Chains A and B, each alone.
Chain A
Amino acid sequence: MSTDTLASPAVGHAVPRPITVPNDRSKEDRIFRAVARAAGFTAFAILFLIGFFLLWRGLPALRAMGFRYFTTSGYSTLHKPYHFGALAQMYGTIVTSLVAVIFGVPVAIGTALFINEYAPIQAKRALIAMVDLGAAIPSIIFGLWALHQFQPEITGTTSWMVRHLSFIPLFSASTPPFNGSFFIAGLIVGLMIVPIVASVSREVFSLAPPGEREGALALGATKSQMIRTVVLPFGRGGIIGASMLGLGRALGETIAVYVLLGLDFVISPHILEHGGTTVASFIAAEFGAGGKLGTDDLLMLGFVLFTFTLIVNLIASLIVNRSRSGKGVEL
C-alpha cells in the first residue's frame, strides 16, 4: 500500500518540476578558461612557427639544388656550380643514433631492472637520483669527458677490433686513426640517452601486476624467470616506446657528437673509421662558414632534423600510449 502512494502522486497535487540550478560560469571564470586554453595553444603555435620559418628560410638552398639536395653530400655553397646536400649528414645521424640505441637501450633496460627488481629499498632512491642526474649533466661536459678520457681509452679497443674482426665488413677500416668514428660518437650518445630510456622503462616495469609476479614466484620461478615471463612481456610496449624516445634524443644530439666526430662527408658502413658528420653537429660546426646560401642550407638541415625527430617522437608517444603496460589485464 505504502509503496503505491509513494509511486503515484496523490490526485490534486501539482507535479513538482525539476529545479534548474544556474550553472553558468562567471565572467571571471570564462576569461580564466579562455586564457588558459590560449596558453595551451601557444605551444602548438611555436611548434608550427619552428617548422614554418626553418622551411621558409631554408627553401633557397633546396631550390638551388632541387631534389638532388637529398642525394648529394658536400658543402660548396660559395661559388657556382653549387654542390651541397644533406645525404652524408643524414646518413651519419642515422648510423650514430643506431649505435647509440643498440648500446644504450639494453644497458638502460638492465639499469631499470636492477633499480626496480634487485636494488635494496634503501638504495633505490639514491640510484634513481643518480640516473636522473645523468640527464642534467650538460652535453658539452659529456663531450669534454669523451674527448679527454673516453676516446683515448677506447681507441685501443677499436683498433683491436679493426685488426682482428675486420672479416666482418662492419668492423673493417682502411687506415688509422681510429678515433672520431661513428662508433665512438654513438657510444657516448648511447650513454646520454640511458637516463630517459631507463626512467621510462622503470616506470613501465613497476606497473607489472604484482599478482602475476607473485604467481610466477609461487610456481617456483626464479627471479630472472619471473622477469622474463612477467615483467618484460608486460613492459614490451613501454620498452619500444622508450627506445624510440631515446632514438629521438640521439638524433638531435649536437655538441658531444660535434666534439668527437671529424667533419667530412663519409658514407661508408665502416663505423670504426675516422670521420663522418651528423645533421646536428654539422649545423654547429659549419655555422657562418658558407655564406648566404650556406646559412640557408643549415636552416634547411635544421628543418630536416626537426621533421625527423618530430616523427620519431610522435610515433614513440603513440606506441607508449597505445600499449600501456598491463592494460586489459584484470586480476
Chain B
Amino acid sequence: MTSPLDVRDLLEAPTAANGNGAAARATGGLDGTLSHAVLTGDVRRVAPLAPPRRTRDFGAQGVALLVGSAVSSFAVVWILFYQLTLLSGAFGFGLCWYACFLAVFWVVTNQVVDRSAATDRVITTVVGSCAAVVIGALLYIVIWVFIRGVAHFTIGFLWRTLADYQPAEGTSLFNQVGVGHAIVGTLEQVGLAAAMAVPLAFLTAVFLNEVGGFGTRFVRTIVTAMSGVPSIVAGVFIYAIFIVPHTLGYSGFAAAMALFVLMLPSVTRTTEEVLRVVPGGLREASLALGASEWRTVRQVVLPTARSGLVTAVVLGVAIAAGETAPLIFTAFGANTLNANVFHGPQGALPLVLYQNIFQAQAVVQQVAFTAAFVLLVLVLILFVVARLLGRRSTKKGRLRRIVVAPFHWVKQMVSE
C-alpha cells in the first residue's frame, strides 16, 4: 500500500472494515491507533461518517413537491372540470385530479431531482393509493353500516320478531319489531353446520397432514376445488337433493347442510395450515415413547394446535354467518320465531336483510339497516375473537405465530 490511504474510502465499505484480514492489511501503512480502531471494528472513533444516501430519501423538498403538485393539479382540474367543461360529480373530479396530480408530480420531480426518482415516487404514490382505496372502502362500509344501523337500535331489537308489529296510530315501528327470530335461526343453522363440518374437517386435515399416503394430493386438490364452489350453488344443491323430492322441505336443517358444504373446505385447509406448524419433534417424541399414531394425534398434535384450531372454527363460523345465497333456497326465511330447526321455514339474519333491502318505505328499510348492523357486529366479534386466539398462541411460546386469515390456506398453494 504505497499511496496514502483515504480513510473515507475504507469507511465507505463497513463490511470490509469490520472484517478481519483484509482490513488489517489495508491499514498496514497507517499509524497504530487507526489500525487498532479498524481491527477492533470500532469505526466510529476514527472519523465521522457522512450520512449514507438512502434510496428512500424523502426530505422537506420531497414533501414540498408532493404538496405543490397536489395543489396545482387541483387548481388546474377545478378550472377545466367545473369552469370550462361544466362537468359534475365528486367521483369524476377526484379521478381527474388524481390523474393530473400524477402527471404534474412526475414532471416536477423529473426537473428538480432526476428521472429515476420521479418514476419511483410516482409508483410509490400509485401503490400507496391502491392500499388507501381498499382500506378506505372497507372502513367506509363498516362505519356506514354502524352509523345507519345504530340509530334505531335498541336492546329489544335483539329479541322481538318481525311478526310483533301491529300497525296502529301513534306507535313507533321500532318499538315493535326485532330480529330475535333471525338471530335464533342464524345461531342454530351455523351451529349445526359447524357441528357437522368441524369433525369432518379436522379428520380430513389430519389425513392430509398426519396420515398421508395414498390419495393425499387428490384429496387436497378436491378440497381446493370445493372451496371455490359458489355459495349459491351450495344452496341450489341442497334444494335439488332434499327439497325438490320433498324429503325435507324448507327448514333450518337444510340451510345448515348448505352451510356445511361451504364450511368444510375452508375449515379443512385452515386446520391443515395450523397442523403444519406443530413441530415434528413433538410427534417423533410421542411415537418414540411407544404411543400409537392415533394417540399421538389425539394427545400431542391436536392439543398443541388447540388455539389455532379454535381460530379455524371461529373464522369458518364468522364467514358462514354472513352467507345469504345458500339460505334463500333452504331456510326460506320467516317473520316469526321458529326454533325447531328440523321443521318449517326459519328466519336468518342475512335473510332479513335480503327480504327488506328493496322495500320502498323508509321505516321498513331501516329494519334492514339495523339488521345489517346486528349481523356486522356478530361477524366482527367472531373475526376479532379468531384473531385474538390466533395471537395468544405466540405469547405462550409454544408455537410459531399463526394468524389464520379467511383464506390462509392459499399460503400452502404458494409455498408447499
Footprint of B on A, CB under 8 Å? 25-26, 28-29, 31-33, 35-37, 39-44, 46-47, 49-50, 53-54, 56-58, 106-111, 113-115, 117-119, 125, 127-145, 147-149, 153-154, 156-157, 160, 191, 194-196, 198-200, 203-204, 207, 217, 221-225, 227, 238, 241, 245, 248-249, 251-255, 259, 280, 283-284, 287, 295, 298-299, 302, 305-306, 309-310, 312-314, 316-317, 320-321, 324-325
Query: Does B357 contact A26, Cβ atoms closer than 8 Å?
Result: no
Chain B positions 34-56 with a Cβ under 8 Å from a chain A Cβ: 55-56
Q: Return chain B residues, CB-CB under 8 Å to A128.
A: 403, 405
B382 to chain A minimum Cβ distance, whole angstroms, is 8
Cross-chain contact of B230 among A26, A44, A114, A251 (Cβ < 8 A): A251
Query: Does B357 contact A295, Cβ atoms closer than 8 Å?
Result: no
15 examples of A-B residue contacts, CB within 8 angstroms: A33-B213, A40-B207, A49-B237, A54-B240, A110-B130, A128-B403, A131-B138, A140-B375, A142-B141, A144-B353, A145-B144, A157-B95, A251-B230, A255-B325, A310-B225
Query: Does B414 contact A43, Cβ atoms closer than 8 Å?
Result: no
Q: Return chain A residues, CB-CB under 8 Å to B322.
A: 136-141
Q: Return chain B residues, CB-CB under 8 Å to A217.
A: 55
Does any Cβ of A come within 8 Å of B98's Cβ?
Answer: no
B358 to chain A minimum Cβ distance, whole angstroms, is 8
Does any Cβ of A come within 8 Å of B63's Cβ?
Answer: no
Cross-chain contact of B215 among A37, A107, A249 (Cβ < 8 A): A37
Q: A32-B293, A251-B230, A306-B230 are in contact. List 10 more A-B contacts (CB 8 A).
A: A40-B219, A47-B225, A53-B237, A107-B130, A108-B130, A125-B403, A136-B382, A140-B375, A141-B376, A309-B233
Residue of B nearest to A201 (CB): B414
Q: Return chain A residues, CB-CB under 8 Å to B127.
A: 110, 113-114, 117-118
Q: Return chain A residues, CB-CB under 8 Å to B83.
A: none
Does any Cβ of A come within 8 Å of B301's Cβ?
Answer: no
Does any Cβ of A come within 8 Å of B190's Cβ?
Answer: no
- The count of A-to-B residue pairs whose CB atoms sit within 8 angstroms is 327
Query: Does A203 contact B131, Cβ atoms closer than 8 Å?
Result: no
Q: Return chain B residues, CB-CB under 8 Å to A56.
A: 240
On whether A156 and B89 interact (CB within 8 A), knowing A29-B294, A137-B138, A225-B120, the answer reads: yes
Report the separation of the CA atoms of residues A47 and B233 in the bound assembly, to the nearest whole angstrom: 11
Report the separation of the CA atoms of residues A8 and B193 in the bound assembly, to the nearest whole angstrom: 68
Q: Return chain B residues, CB-CB under 8 Å to A320.
A: 410, 413-414
Q: Return chain B residues, CB-CB under 8 Å to A245.
A: 228, 410
* Interface size range on B against A: 35 or more
Does any Cβ of A come within 8 Å of B5's Cβ?
Answer: no
Cross-chain contact of B207 among A31, A39, A154, A313 (Cβ < 8 A): A39
Query: Does B211 contact A36, Cβ atoms closer than 8 Å?
Result: yes
Report the separation of the CA atoms of residues A312 and B229 in the bound assembly, to the nearest whole angstrom: 11
Cross-chain contact of B208 among A40, A111, A142 (Cβ < 8 A): A40
On whether A29 and B293 interact (CB within 8 A), knowing A49-B241, A50-B237, A108-B134, the answer reads: yes
Cross-chain contact of A54 among B223, B233, B321, B411 (Cβ < 8 A): B233
Q: Return chain A residues, CB-CB under 8 Å to B141.
A: 137, 141-142, 145
Interface SS of chain B: helix, strand, loop or mixed? helix
Report the separation of the CA atoms of residues A251 and B120 in the bound assembly, to the nearest whole angstrom: 36
Report the separation of the CA atoms of residues A39 and B216 in the bound assembly, to the nearest whole angstrom: 12
Q: Return chain B residues, CB-CB under 8 Å to A32.
A: 211, 292-294, 297
Cross-chain contact of B226 among A46, A109, A153 (Cβ < 8 A): A46
Query: Does A157 contact B91, Cβ atoms closer than 8 Å?
Result: yes
Chain B positions 344-389 with a Cβ under 8 Å from a chain A Cβ: 350, 353-354, 357, 368-369, 372, 375-376, 379-380, 382-383, 387
A254 to chain B minimum Cβ distance, whole angstroms, is 4
Report the separation of the CA atoms of residues A137 and B321 in the bound assembly, to the nearest whole angstrom: 10
Does any Cβ of A come within 8 Å of B88's Cβ?
Answer: yes
B8 to chain A minimum Cβ distance, whole angstroms, is 19
Cross-chain contact of A144 among B88, B145, B219, B233 (Cβ < 8 A): B145
Q: Return chain B residues, CB-CB under 8 Å to A107.
A: 130, 133-134
Report the separation of the CA atoms of residues A316 and B413 in the bound assembly, to the nearest whole angstrom: 10
Q: Return chain B residues, CB-CB under 8 Å to A204.
A: 414
A107 to chain B minimum Cβ distance, whole angstroms, is 5
Does any Cβ of A come within 8 Å of B264's Cβ?
Answer: yes
Q: Return chain B residues, CB-CB under 8 Å to A325.
A: 414
